[in-house]
Amino acid sequence: MTAQLLEPRLVEPSKGHGELIAVVNVDESEVDRQMRICNACRYCEGFCAVFPAMTRRLDFNKADIHYLANLCHNCGACLHACQYAAPHEFAVNVPKALATVRGQTYSDYAWPSAFGRLYRHNGTLLASALAAGLSLFLLLALLVNGTLLPGRLAGDFYAVFPHNTLALMFGVVFAAAMLALSIAVRRFWCEVAPADSPPASKHAAVVEASTAALTLKYLDGGHGQGCTNESDRYTLWRRRFHHLTFYGFMLCFAATVVATGYHYLLGEMAPYPLLSWPVVLGTVGGVGLVIGPVGLLVLNLRRDPAHGDVSQRPMDRAFILLLLLVSLTGLALLGWRDTGAMAILLAVHLGCVMALFLTLPYGKFAHGIFRSAALLKFAIEKRQPDPHGLGGE
């Protein structure tokens, strides 16, 4: 029995987005091995959604492995509770094994498929170079047009870059990014989707999954005390910084939507007063997008390497860096919009925003989309009869 649990095994192939997916690779086989050990132990069953989902299976095919990998929130609590973690010969490390496969799923389901390799190269150097390059391009365009230092424009951004030009350029890029993410998560869903359930159950499942995603329920360690980070000590700061980052981003997005409504529905053109809704929402969101990413970056730098896949840290930090650059340049632009430096600050801010939009489908942002899909599957699946009746939610 010990030898069987120490060795990975071949798993039957599963079907995904219209074609047969190959037999599991080495990393996926390692997840299968560890899940079989966890299924025999079940000490961590109350920690997060991964373990009750695991108990509904005796074998783990490729679709199951991809599903569990994206259901994991990488809180690290199960690693410190595990009696089979290294130096035990079983060497169980569920957070690391699932994190490794989770990174692969982003590449596997990316659209266009050829762009999947970008996940492996989307590091801090590329992100900063892209933001700097795009900002430089816009600055050179202003220099050529003679509008790099136009003097005081009373915060009129459209005197620097025409509104229609900005709306078309950024609208097309953002729409393309959302399309790529939508197709990618649809491919993932088509592989892992559960059998049909009653409409009433689906409605309740959507509410449950949405609540879990919006509250980051599974970053509480299963006991409400939070995640582990640089040691086995629990902390809620990772959850708090995630909330500040997510809701800061959503407030900034809301500011853009409200400003669009002002422009097209009310006929009110920018710049808007400091106490107007677009400015207030953008300012509060921008502050959240400074505090949250700074906190996440500090935690990422301090985190125990055993808690995840260290090869993905450059991608994690690249996304944090871009969010931070967007928020800092946005707040600087707001603070100095009535000065002669406004055009320069606007070009730098737009360059950072464009870099963020271009990398959204092929960076860390994808984890929120895939994880939400996995949470929905879990919420639907738990409302269906347990095929084995060996565990509970």
DSSP string, 148-180: SS----TT-GGGTS-HHHHHHHHHHHHHHHHHH
* Strand pairing category for 227-228 and 19-20: unpaired
Instruction: Give yes or no for a contact between 371 and 71, defined as CB atoms under 8 angstroms apart.
Output: yes
User: Are 147 and 343 contacting, i.e. CB atoms less than 8 angstroms apart?
Assistant: yes
pLDDT, position 8: 60
- Cα gap 351→333, rounded to integer Å: 13
CA distances, 196 to each of 61, 118, 179 (Å): 20, 34, 26
Q: What angle do CA 145, 337, 350 make, to 5 degrees?
A: 60
Tokens of 286: 């921008």
Residue 352: predicted pLDDT: 97
Instruction: Give, rounded to a whole angstrom, the gap between the first and last alpha carbons of the chain.
Output: 28
pLDDT in tens, the chain (393 residues): 555 555 666 555 555 444 434 578 999 999 999 999 999 999 988 889 999 999 999 889 999 999 999 999 999 989 999 999 999 999 999 999 999 999 999 999 999 998 888 888 778 888 889 999 999 999 999 998 888 888 788 778 888 999 899 999 999 999 999 999 999 999 999 999 876 666 667 889 999 999 999 999 999 888 888 889 998 899 999 999 999 999 999 999 999 999 999 999 999 988 899 999 999 999 999 999 999 999 999 999 999 999 999 999 999 999 999 999 999 999 999 999 999 999 999 999 999 999 999 999 999 999 999 999 999 999 999 988 887 766 555
- Pair of tokens at residue 351: 């360059």
Q: How many CB atoms lie within 10 A of CB 58?
A: 10
Among 379, 342, 385, which residue's Cα sits nearest to residue 157?
Answer: 342
Joined tokens for residue 332: 């600087």
Question: What is the reported pLDDT for 118?
Answer: 83
How many Cβ atoms from other residues are within 10 Å of residue 245's Cβ?
24
Q: What is the model's pLDDT at position 4?
A: 56
CB 138 within 8 A of CB 347: yes
Which stretches of the chain are assigned E, i.e. beta strand?
Answer: 15-16, 19-20, 227-228, 234-235
Q: Is 270 exposed, middle or buried (0-12, 13-18, 19+ CB in 10 A)?
A: middle
3-state secondary structure of 213: helix
Q: At what angle do helices 199-215 and 366-381 cross, to 10 degrees?
A: 140
